[in-house]
């Protein structure tokens, strides 16, 4: 029989809603060419769904996916993805 904890379901729903909103904010503010709201909503829902599936099936991969996405956005904001590192070709 299913053992469903209502507080855990609510906690996860809020978690993925916040993650989706964070992705939507990034999709709205970061690009130079603005997207329409339907595209932003599709990106946010897709990201939230992908992270929820990763949490369900492979929790450690979901954790690392979040860290990698944050690192990628951060390096893009400071321009580090265009700076050459000694011995390493440019990232883009």
Q: What is the pLDDT of residues 4-38, one digit of tens each?
A: 788 888 998 999 999 899 889 988 888 888 889 99
Positive or negative CA dihedral for 33, 25, 38, 58?
Answer: positive
Residue 89: inside a domain: no
pTM over 0.85: no
Burial of 62 (0-12, 13-18, 19+ CB in 10 A): middle
Residue 43: inside a domain: yes
Q: What is the mean pLDDT of the chain?
A: 79
Instruction: Quote the domain boundaries for residue 70.
Output: 6-82
Q: Give the count of domains, the chain.
A: 1
Residue 90: inside a domain: no
CA-CA distances (angstroms) from residue 80 to 30, 36, 60, 74, 86?
15, 28, 27, 8, 13
Residue 1: inside a domain: no
């Amino acid at each position: 029989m299913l053992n469903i904890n209502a507080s855990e379901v609510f906690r996860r729903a809020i978690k993925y809603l916040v993650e989706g909103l964070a992705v939507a904010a990034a999709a709205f503010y970061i690009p130079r060419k603005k997207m329409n709201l339907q595209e932003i909503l599709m990106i946010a829902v897709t990201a939230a769904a992908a992270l929820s599936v990763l949490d369900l099936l492979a929790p450690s991969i979901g954790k690392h996916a979040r860290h990698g996405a944050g690192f990628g956005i951060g390096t893009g904001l400071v321009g580090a993805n265009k700076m050459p590192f000694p011995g390493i070709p440019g990232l883009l």
